């Protein structure tokens, strides 16, 4: 069995769980609202490291929840939004 890590707000994760629980009929909406082309799996870790599924999942969880990873993603989002001349919402 393959395991995949998702990140998001509590509300986004709860919505994702609901979509998955209700079958394939709701998956097109998932594809519309989430970028799903670049998901990481335990197989990605196991291609490079000798580990079991639990160890691979731990690597993914820690890597994807790492502050530096999150900062880099936000940096990239802001960079590409600015390249498209999108107006940033002020807090």
Per-residue model confidence as pLDDT tens digits over 33-79: 766 667 788 889 999 999 998 999 999 999 988 899 899 999 999 99
Residue 28 has pLDDT above 60, yes or no: no
Mean pLDDT of the region 2-14: 72
Whether 83 shows a pLDDT value over 90: the answer reads: yes
Q: What is the pLDDT of residue 30?
A: 59
Q: What pLDDT is stored for residue 77 in this prediction?
A: 92
Q: Is the pLDDT of residue 23 over 70?
A: no
Provide the residue ranges of all domains of the chain, joining segments of one domain with +. Answer: 10-83
Q: Does 25 have pLDDT greater than 70?
A: no
HSE at residue 85, side-chain half, CA atoms within 13 A, is 0
Q: How far is the C-alpha of 43 from the C-alpha of 59, rounded, in Å? A: 11
CA distance 69 to 86: 23
Report yes or no on whether pTM surpasses 0.75: no
């Amino acid at each position: 069995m393959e395991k995949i890590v998702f990140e998001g707000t509590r509300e986004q994760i709860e919505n994702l769980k609901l979509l998955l629980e209700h079958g394939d009929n709701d998956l097109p909406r998932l594809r519309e609202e989430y970028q799903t082309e670049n998901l990481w799996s335990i197989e990605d870790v196991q291609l490079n490291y000798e580990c079991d599924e639990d160890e691979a999942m731990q690597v993914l969880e820690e890597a994807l929840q790492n502050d530096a990873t999150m900062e880099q993603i936000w940096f990239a989002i802001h960079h590409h939004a600015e390249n498209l001349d999108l107006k940033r919402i002020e807090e």
